């Protein structure tokens, strides 16, 4: 048995230090810490419900060792939607378009959609589907999720 | 309490020292590491050596007619690189269908080699392109042709204390990669094919290299088929020739994704499409 690793990072705007096992995923460590907006779906890097922003990049937290994020900045979906205008408009659009049924895929979908638009993604339904191709939904059939993202992408003005 | 310990290497020298320990487990992007630990791939007591901070392994550079891709370059970074798009179109093709956009943000090209799956999407085009791997240890560096790196399913010739440091490759302007999976993303391939061609002014193949994925225990280069195509024109329908040659050379298996019979047909079709795409590039 080995000692835990202490890892210090910025979580949703606050500095935190967590004691984690070497083999513990970022997903589990953050959920234990209280970030239950991160969902545990497949725990194998496939379904995308655990997605968050790590130093601005959308990643699947179930395959990232918690010990490896020292010094980095993490945003999870709920906090992002509270503090970021684009994320908030995505959340509202998801609700308006009926893109939330059970809601389990939604945090991951918001993160992936957010990253798509921030990276310059446009209201192109095929491109939106490709951007969300790492996020599985068992309820909606995806159309309403694509509608929601398309609506925000159309409205979002890229300021150069 | 942990079954494992974790250390982040501060520099290459420290990483190489740590990786000499018999219980060391290298971690770059970590795309499959935690899953492998959960599946019991490593005995308890191992030390995870995180090499993701080694900035000297993160560059893409050109030196004369050779490109050097650091092993820690992510698939996303390869896609964002105009150097890769312009000089290695087959690799660029593969990165675009690699897993999904989120996985691409953390998966490294070195990791795709180290995991040594016969389906490894970044490996297949690099074998066709004629790339080499640079392996670094405290004893120095050595290079090996990509196709010679694998010795079995999930197994490589990497020694303890060695780290994949870079991929060194010529440019390959007439190259292409084709993948078929059971879905358009997050798919382990049913089969993949890559082709890299040298053409004369009339479009006759003067030299070619091919690689196939998911049809053998290792990523496969097929020299016998390469010899067959020299002298043929890219305007010809090469599928009948390839169909016969491929079925003589490969012995794919039935598995949860597909059958041997389908893979035989698919491999020939994908190879023919890769040759056509490679030929059309300029």
Q: What is the value of ipTM here, to two decimals?
A: 0.96
A48 in Cβ contact with A105 (< 8 Å): yes
| Tokens encoding B216 | 């053998």
Domain boundaries of chain B, sorted by first residue: 5-50, 55-170, 176-280
A109 in Cβ contact with A129 (< 8 Å): no
CATH class of the domain comprising A5-78: alpha beta
From chain A, the residues in CB contact with B3 under 8 A are 1-2, 21-23
- Which residues of B lie closer than 8 Å to A, measured between beta carbons? 1-6, 8, 27, 30-35, 37-38, 45, 47-48, 50, 52, 76, 99-103, 105-106, 184-186
User: Of A51, A59, A133, which has the smallest distance from its Cβ to B184's Cβ?
Assistant: A133
Does the structural domain B55-170 have CATH classification 1.10.10.60? no
- pLDDT tens, position by position, B248-261: 999 999 999 999 99
User: What is the spatial distance between Cα A146 and Cα B161, in angstroms, rounded to a whole number?
Assistant: 47
Which CATH superfamily hosts domain B176-280?
A: CO dehydrogenase flavoprotein, C-terminal domain (3.30.390.50)
> CB–CB of B50 and A25 under 8 A?
no
User: What is the spatial distance between Cα B141 and Cα B12, in angstroms, rounded to a whole number?
Assistant: 13
User: Of B27, B103, B185, which has the smallest distance from its Cβ to A45's Cβ?
Assistant: B103
- pLDDT tens, position by position, B193-221: 999 999 999 999 999 999 999 999 999 99
> CB–CB of B103 and A60 under 8 A?
yes
A45 in Cβ contact with A23 (< 8 Å): no
The residues of chain A scoring below 50 in pLDDT are 159-160
Torsion sign across C-alpha atoms B118, A47, B25, B111: positive
Domain boundaries of chain A, sorted by first residue: 5-78, 81-155
Q: Give the 3-state secondary structure of chain A.
A: CECCEEEEEEECCEEEEEEECCCCEHHHHHHHHCCCCCCCCCCCCCCCCCEEEECCEEEEHHHCEHHHHCCCEEECHHHHHHHCHHHHHHHHHHHHCCCCCCCCCHHHHHHHHHHHHHCCCCCCHHHHHHHCCCCCCCCCCCHHHHHHHHHHHHHCCCCC
pTM value is 0.96
Quick one: pLDDT at residue B1? 66
User: Of A57, A60, A65, which has the smallest distance from its Cβ to B6's Cβ?
Assistant: A65
- pLDDT tens, position by position, B21-66: 999 999 999 999 999 999 999 999 999 999 999 999 999 999 888 9
> CB–CB of A65 and B50 under 8 A?
yes
- pLDDT tens, position by position, A62-79: 999 999 999 999 999 999
Which CATH superfamily hosts domain A81-155?
A: [2Fe-2S]-binding domain (1.10.150.120)
Pick from B109, B112, B83, B93: which is nearest to B171 by CA? B83
Same fold, A5-78 and A81-155: no
Helix (H) or strand (E) holding B150: strand B150-152
């Amino acid at each position: 048995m080995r000692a835990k690793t202490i890892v210090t990072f910025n979580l949703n705007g606050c500095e935190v230090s967590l004691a984690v096992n070497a083999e513990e995923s970022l997903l589990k460590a953050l959920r234990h810490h209280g970030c239950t907006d991160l969902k545990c779906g497949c725990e194998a890097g496939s379904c995308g419900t655990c997605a968050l922003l790590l130093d601005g990049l959308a990643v699947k937290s179930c395959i990232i060792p918690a010990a490896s994020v020292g010094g980095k900045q993490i945003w999870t979906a709920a906090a992002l939607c509270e503090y970021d205008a684009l994320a908030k408009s995505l959340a509202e659009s998801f609700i308006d378009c009926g893109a939330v049924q059970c809601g389990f895929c939604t945090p991951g979908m918001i993160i992936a959609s957010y990253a798509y638009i921030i990276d310059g993604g446009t209201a192109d339904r095929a491109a939106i589907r490709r951007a969300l191709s790492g996020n599985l939904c068992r309820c909606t059939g995806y159309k309403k999720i694509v509608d929601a993202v398309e609506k925000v992408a159309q409205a979002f003005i890229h300021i150069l | 309490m942990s079954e494992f310990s974790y250390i982040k290497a501060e520099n290459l020298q420290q990483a190489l020292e740590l990786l000499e320990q018999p219980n060391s487990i290298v971690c770059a992007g970590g795309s499959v590491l935690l899953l492998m630990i959960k599946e019991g791939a490593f005995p308890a007591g191992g030390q995870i050596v995180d090499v993701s901070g080694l900035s000297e392994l993160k560059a893409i550079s050109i030196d004369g007619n050779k490109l050097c891709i650091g092993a820690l370059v992510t698939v996303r970074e390869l896609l964002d690189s105009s150097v890769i798009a312009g000089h290695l179109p087959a690799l660029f093709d593969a990165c675009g269908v690699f897993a999904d956009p989120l996985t691409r943000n953390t998966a490294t090209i070195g990791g795709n080699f180290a995991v040594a799956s016969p389906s490894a999407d970044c490996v297949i085009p690099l074998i066709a392109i004629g790339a080499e791997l640079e392996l670094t240890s405290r004893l120095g560096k050595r290079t090996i042709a990509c196709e010679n790196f694998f010795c079995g399913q999930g197994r490589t010739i990497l020694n303890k204390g060695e780290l994949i440091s870079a991929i060194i490759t010529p440019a390959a302007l007439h190259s292409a990669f084709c993948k078929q999976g059971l879905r358009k993303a997050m798919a382990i391939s049913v089969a993949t094919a890559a082709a890299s061609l040298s053409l004369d002014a009339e479009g006759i193949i003067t030299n070619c290299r091919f690689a196939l994925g998911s049809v053998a225990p290792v990523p496969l280069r097929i020299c016998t088929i390469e010899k067959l195509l020299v002298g043929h024109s890219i305007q010809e329908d090469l599928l009948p020739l390839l169909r016969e040659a491929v079925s003589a050379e490969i012995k794919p298996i039935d598995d949860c994704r597909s059958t041997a019979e389908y893979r035989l047909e698919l491999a020939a079709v994908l190879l023919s499409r890769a040759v056509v795409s490679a030929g059309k590039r300029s």
